[in-house]
Structure 1
Amino acid sequence: MNSQKSKADSIIFRRPELKDASGIHNLIKRSPPLDVNSLYCYLLLCDHFRNTCIVAEKDRKVIGFIAAYLPPTKLDTLFVWQVVVAKPLRNRSLATKMLNKLLQSTPVLYIETTVTPSNDASMRFFRAFAHAREATLLSAAGYARDLFGKNSHEEELLLRLGPFDGGNQTIKRDIL
C-alpha cells in the first residue's frame, strides 16, 4: 500500500512506521474499552506486522490505526486485533476506510476478529462492514472469560466475515 491522501479531509492512509508506535499507544490509552498493550507491542506491530496494519494520519498525528495480521495457520484470513479512531473523528467512516484499504491490499478471503459482547460500537462496525459487502458474518465462541485469569475481562466472541474475493472486493452497498 502506498501512502494515500484523502483530499476531502487531508487524511493520509499508510503503513505504520516505528516512529508511530508512541502515537498509537497514546491513542489507544485514550480509547476505552480497548485493551492497552505495552509500547513494545506497538513497536513490534509497526515493524514486524506493518504490511497488515494501517495508520490514518492528519496534520502529522496518528488519528486512526488498525492492528491486523495473517494467522500462520490461516493465510487466507486477516485477523483484526484492534481498531481505533480518535474520538473527535469517530462516526466519519474512518475505520471503514482503513479496513477497506487493508482488504484491498491484502489478498484474503476472510476477516476475523474478537469482540467483547458489551462492545456495541465494534459489533455494529463489523456487522455494517459485512453487510455493505454482502458478506456473511458468523459469531462463535472465542476466548472464554476464565482464560483471562483473575482479570475482570469479558469473554471474547470470534467474528468471521467473508468470503471476500481476495483483495478485489468492491462495496456493494453504502454504509450509512
Structure 2
Amino acid sequence: METIVNQKLKGVVTINTQTATLNPADTLVLEKPSVEDGSAMWELVNNSSLDQNSAYKYIMMCEHFAETCVVAKEEGKVVGFVTAFIPPERQDVVFVWQIGVDSSQRGKGLASKILNELFDRDACRDVRYLEATVTPTNEASQALFKKFAKEHNTTCEVSECFPKELFPSDEHEAELSFLIGPIEK
C-alpha cells in the first residue's frame, strides 16, 4: 500500500491516508466524517428503511465520535456510513450503532469495507470485539455481521439484548446483540 495524504485518485479508495486500488472506474473515499456530513447521513437514512434518528444525532456523532465513525463518499457525495463508539467501560469493544448504504451502492460490498475501515482505525487499536444490535427481521445486517466474523476467523455470538416490551411503540422489534470476536490484528 502506498501512503497518500489528502488526495483523491481515480480508481483508488483513500482509507486513512492509505490507498487501495479498486476497479479503475470506481472513485470512493472512506474517511472520518465532519459535522457537515451529518445532514447527508440523515438524508441517506431518511431515504431508506433504516431506523430514523434525529439529524442532531448524526451531527453529534460526527462531532464527538468522528474517530469511530466512517463516511463513504463518491464524488463528494455521502453514499454510506457507520456510526460507532467505544463504550467507556469496555475499551476493547467498538459498538456499531448504525450502518447506512445508499441504494446506488448496494451489492458492492460497501458495508463490509466500511466496517473493516472502522476496525482498522488507530482509535480501535485496542479493540478486539465488534458489537451491534440487530432486529430479528433484519437479515441483511445479520448476514453482514456474520460475514465480518467469518472474514476475521472468529465467532459471532447472538443473544437477546432488548426485548420488544422495552420499547414504547408496538412497531419496534426486539433487538438481538451480535458480539464478534476476539479479532486479531
Q: Normalised by the size of structure 2, how large is the TM-score? A: 0.85
Taking the aligned partners of 1:35 and 1:75, their CA distance within structure 2 comes to 26
- Aligned residue number for residue 16 of structure 1: 33
Taking the aligned partners of 2:17 and 2:38, their CA distance within structure 1 comes to 17
What does 1:42-53 correspond to in 2, within 5 Å?
42-53=58-69
Structure 1: gaps (5+ residues): 169-176
Residues 4, 12 of structure 1: alpha-carbon distance in 2 compared, 3 angstrom cutoff? farther
Q: Residue 111 of structure 1: SS of its match in structure 2?
A: strand
2:71 counterpart of 1:55: yes
> Does the 8 Å CA contact 1:15/1:54 hold for their aligned counterparts?
yes
Give, in angstroms, the shift of residue 30 of structure 1: 1.3
**Could you list the per-position Cα deviations for residues 45-102 of structure 1 after superposition, in whole angstroms to 9, with x for gaps in the alignment?**
0000100000000011000000000011111000001011111211111111111111
Give, in angstroms, the shift of residue 150 of structure 1: 2.7
Give the one of 106, 109, 116 matched to 1:90: 106
> Does the 8 Å CA contact 1:141/1:156 hold for their aligned counterparts?
yes
2:146 counterpart of 1:127: yes
2:21 counterpart of 1:2: no
Q: Which has the higher contact order (CA 8 A, sep 6+)?
A: 1
Size of the aligned set, in residue pairs, is: 165
2:166 counterpart of 1:150: no
What does 1:92-131 correspond to in 2, within 5 Å?
92-105=108-121, 106-107=124-125, 108-131=127-150
Q: Normalised by the size of structure 1, how large is the TM-score? A: 0.89
Q: What amino acid does structure 2 have at the position aligned with 1:126?
A: F
Structure 2: gaps (5+ residues): 1-14
Q: What amino acid does structure 1 have at the position aligned with 2:57?
A: C
Bigger Rg over Cα: 2
**Could you list the per-position Cα deviations for residues 101-134 of structure 1 after superposition, in whole angstroms to 9, with x for gaps in the alignment?**
1111112010000000000100111111111111
Give, in angstroms, the shift of residue 151 of structure 1: 4.0
Residue range with higher mean Cα deviation, 62-71 or 148-157: 148-157
Q: What amino acid does structure 2 have at the position aligned with 1:125?
A: L
Question: Which consecutive segments of 4 or more residues in structure 1 shift more than 4 A?
Answer: 3-7
Give the one of 51, 75, 78 matched to 2:91: 75
**Could you list the per-position Cα deviations for residues 149-171 of structure 1 after superposition, in whole angstroms to 9, with x for gaps in the alignment?**
13410000000000012xx2xxx
The percentage of counterpart residues that share the same residue type is 38
Give, in angstroms, the shift of residue 27 of structure 1: 0.3
